[in-house]
A and B are shown apart, each in its own frame.
Chain A
Amino acid sequence: MSRPEHFAPPEIFYNQDESVKYTTNSRIMEIQANMTNRALELLALPENKPCYILDIGCGSGLSGEVISEAGHEWVGVDISADMLNVARDREVDGDLFLWDMGHGMSFRPGTFDGAISISALQWLCNQDKTENIPQVRLKKFFQSLYNCLARGARAVFQFYPETPKQIELITTAAMRCGFAGGLVVDFPHSTKAKKFFLCLLAGSPQEYVQPRAVGEDYTGDEDTTHVAYSAGRDKAAGSAPSRLGKKKQKDSIKSKNWVIKKKERRRRQGLEVANDSKYTARKRRPKF
Chain B
Amino acid sequence: MRILTHNMLMCNVKKCNMQGYPLKIVPSQVETVENEFNPEFIAHMIPKLDWNGVISAAADLNITNLPPTIPAGAASDETFLRSLHGLLLDITIVDGQLVCKNCGRSYKVSGGIPNMLLNEDEV
Interface residues of A (CB under 8 A from B): 49-52, 73, 75, 77, 79, 81, 84-85, 88, 93, 95-100, 103-104, 106-108, 110-111, 131, 140, 148, 268-270
Contact = CB atoms under 8 A, between A and B. Distances in A.
Interface of B: 1-2, 4-5, 7-12, 18, 20-21, 34-36, 38, 40-41, 44-45, 48, 50, 111-118, 120, 123
A103 B118 CA distance: 7
Contacts of B40: 49-50
A32 to B, nearest CB: 20
> Which 4 A/B pairs are nearest by Cβ-Cβ distance?
A106-B12, A50-B41, A95-B5, A106-B10
Contacts of B20: 106
Given A103-B12, A270-B34, A98 B21 contact: no
Contacts of B2: 95
B8 A88 contact: no
A106 B123 CA distance: 11
A103 B113 contact: no
A52 B2 CA distance: 13
A170 B44 CA distance: 32
A128 to B, nearest CB: 13
B22 to A, nearest CB: 9
Nearest to B111: A88
A52 B111 CA distance: 23
14 contacts: A73-B41, A77-B116, A79-B117, A81-B113, A97-B113, A103-B116, A103-B123, A107-B8, A108-B8, A108-B9, A108-B21, A110-B48, A111-B8, A268-B36
Given A49-B40, A49-B44, A103-B123, A88 B113 contact: yes
A49 to B, nearest CB: 7
Contacts of B8: 75, 107-108, 111, 148
Nearest to A102: B123
Contacts of A140: 123
